[in-house]
C-alpha cells in the first residue's frame, strides 16, 4: 500500500469517527436540551410535544420557575442554602483531608499505608446501595443527620476516589522538592501547606469539580440521612414537586432542574482548563 492510499484511508476513518462521536454527543446532550426547552413550556404541552420548541401557544415564560420556587410548603431558598452548605463543606473536607492523607500514603512506605490505599481503592467499587440502610441508622445515632454534619458522611464516600487521584499525582512530584523544603526550614505541616499543596493545584481542581458535581446532584444519600421535613436539598425539593400535588407538574420540575444545573455548568466551564490537565496529570503517573 502506498502512502497516499493510507492517508486517504486515515482521513476516511477520521470522518467515520467524527460522525459516530457526533451522534453520541447529540444523544448525550438531548436530555439537557429537553430540560431547557420544556422548562419554558406550559405543563400540558410538556407531555405531548416534548421535543418541540416552545410556540406562542405553549410558551409559559417564567411561570414554571416561579411556580417551582414557590410550590408546596417548603421554602426553595432553604433548599438552595442547604445544598450550597452541604456541597461546599463536603468538597472542602474531602480536598483538605484527602490531599493530606494521600501525601502521607504516597510518601511513607509502610504496610499500613498500603493497606489504607487499597482500602480506599476498594471503597470505590462498593455500591452505595449495599451500605445505605445501615448507613442511615448509623448516621442517626451519630447525629450526622443535619446539613452541618452530613459532609462527614460525604467525606467517607468521597475519600476513595479523591485519595486515589491525589496519590497518583503526589507520586509524580519529585521527592527532592520536599527534601529541599525540609532543609530550608519547613516542618511536615509547613512543607505540606507551602510546598505540596500549591503543586497539587491541578488535582485539587479536578477532584473538586468531580466532588462538587456529585454532592450537588446527589439525591439518595440526603434523602436517606436527613430529616426531610426539616432539611431539603434541591434534588429533594424537585422530587417533592410531584409528591405534594398528586399530578406531576413537569414544567416546574424542568425549570428547577435547569436552575440546579446552571451553577455546575458555570463552575465547570470556569475550571475546564485545569480539569483536563489535572485528570491527565493524576492518571498518567498513577
Partner 1 sequence: MAEVSLRHIKKVYPNSERTSKKGLFGRKKADDGARKASSLRITDEGVLAVPDFNLDIADREFVVFVGPSGCGKSTTLRMIAGLEEITDGELYIDGKLMNDVAPKDRDIAMVFQSYALYPHMTVRDNLAFPLKLRKMDKQTIDAKVNEAAETLGITEFLDRKPKALSGGQRQRVAIGRAIVREPKVLLMDEPLSNLDAKLRNQMRAEIIKLRKRIDSTFIYVTHDQTEAMTLGDRIVIMKDGEVQQVGTPQEVFEHPSNLFVAGFIGVPQMNFFDAELVRDGNAYSVHVGDAIVVPSAEKQARLAAQDVASQSITLGIRPEHISLASGDAATLVGTVDVSEMMGSSVHVHLDSLGQDVIVIVPTTEIEGPYQDHFFAGAKVEYAFGGNVIHMFSKDEQGTNLEF
Q: Report the interface residues with partner 1, using CB under 8 A.
A: 104, 107-111, 174-188, 190-191, 194-195, 198-199, 201
What does R_g of the chain's alpha carbons equal in angstroms?
Answer: 24
Closer Cβ to partner 1, 175 or 265, answer by number: 175
* Nearest CB to partner 1, comparing residues 203 and 260: 203
Here the cell at position 265 is 455548568
In angstroms, what is the minimal distance from the CB of 174 to partner 1? 6
Query: Quick one: cell of 26?
Result: 447529540
Q: How many angstroms from the chain centroid is the CA of residue 117? A: 22
Q: How far is the CB of 187 from partner 1 (least distance, A)?
A: 7
Residue whose CB is less far from partner 1, 198 or 246: 198
**Can you give the three-state secondary structure of 212-271, one letter per residue?**
HHHHHHCCHHHHHHCCCCCCCCHHHHHHHHHHCCCCCCHHHHHHHHHHHHHHHHHHHHHH
Task: Give the DSSP per-residue string, 47-85.
Answer: HHSTTSPP-TTTB-TTHHHHHHHH-TTS-HHHHHHHHHH
Give the residue among 152, 268, 163 at the shortest CA–CA distance from 221.
152
Please say whether the beta carbons of 120 and 160 come within 8 A.
yes
Which is nearer to partner 1, 92 or 188 (by Cβ)? 188
Which CB sits closer to partner 1, 63 or 186?
186
Amino acid at each position: 500500500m502506498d502512502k497516499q492510499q493510507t492517508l486517504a484511508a486515515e482521513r476516511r476513518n477520521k470522518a467515520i469517527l467524527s460522525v459516530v462521536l457526533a451522534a453520541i454527543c447529540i444523544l448525550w446532550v438531548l436530555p439537557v436540551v429537553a430540560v431547557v426547552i420544556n422548562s419554558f413550556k406550559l405543563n400540558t404541552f410538556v407531555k405531548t410535544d416534548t421535543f418541540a420548541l416552545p410556540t406562542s401557544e405553549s410558551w409559559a415564560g417564567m411561570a414554571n420557575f416561579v411556580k417551582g420556587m414557590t410550590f408546596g410548603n417548603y421554602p426553595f431558598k432553604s433548599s438552595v442554602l442547604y445544598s450550597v452548605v452541604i456541597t461546599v463543606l463536603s468538597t472542602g473536607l474531602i480536598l483538605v483531608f484527602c490531599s493530606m492523607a494521600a501525601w502521607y500514603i504516597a510518601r511513607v512506605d509502610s504496610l499500613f499505608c498500603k493497606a489504607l490505599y487499597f482500602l480506599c481503592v476498594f471503597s470505590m467499587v462498593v455500591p452505595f446501595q449495599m451500605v445505605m440502610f445501615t448507613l442511615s441508622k448509623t448516621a442517626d445515632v451519630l447525629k450526622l443527620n443535619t446539613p452541618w454534619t452530613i459532609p462527614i458522611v460525604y467525606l467517607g464516600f468521597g475519600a476513595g476516589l479523591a485519595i486515589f487521584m491525589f496519590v497518583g499525582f503526589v507520586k509524580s512530584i519529585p521527592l527532592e522538592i520536599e527534601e529541599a523544603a525540609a532543609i530550608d526550614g519547613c516542618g511536615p505541616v509547613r512543607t505540606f501547606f507551602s510546598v505540596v499543596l500549591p503543586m497539587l493545584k491541578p488535582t485539587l481542581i479536578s477532584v473538586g469539580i468531580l466532588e462538587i458535581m456529585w454532592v450537588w446532584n446527589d439525591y439518595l444519600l440526603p434523602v436517606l440521612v436527613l430529616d426531610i421535613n426539616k432539611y431539603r436539598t434541591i434534588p429533594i425539593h424537585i422530587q417533592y414537586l410531584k409528591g405534594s400535588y398528586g399530578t406531576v407538574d413537569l414544567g416546574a420540575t424542568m425549570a428547577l432542574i435547569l436552575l440546579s444545573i446552571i451553577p455546575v455548568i458555570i463552575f465547570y466551564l470556569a475550571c475546564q482548563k485545569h480539569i483536563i490537565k489535572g485528570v491527565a496529570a493524576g492518571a498518567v503517573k498513577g
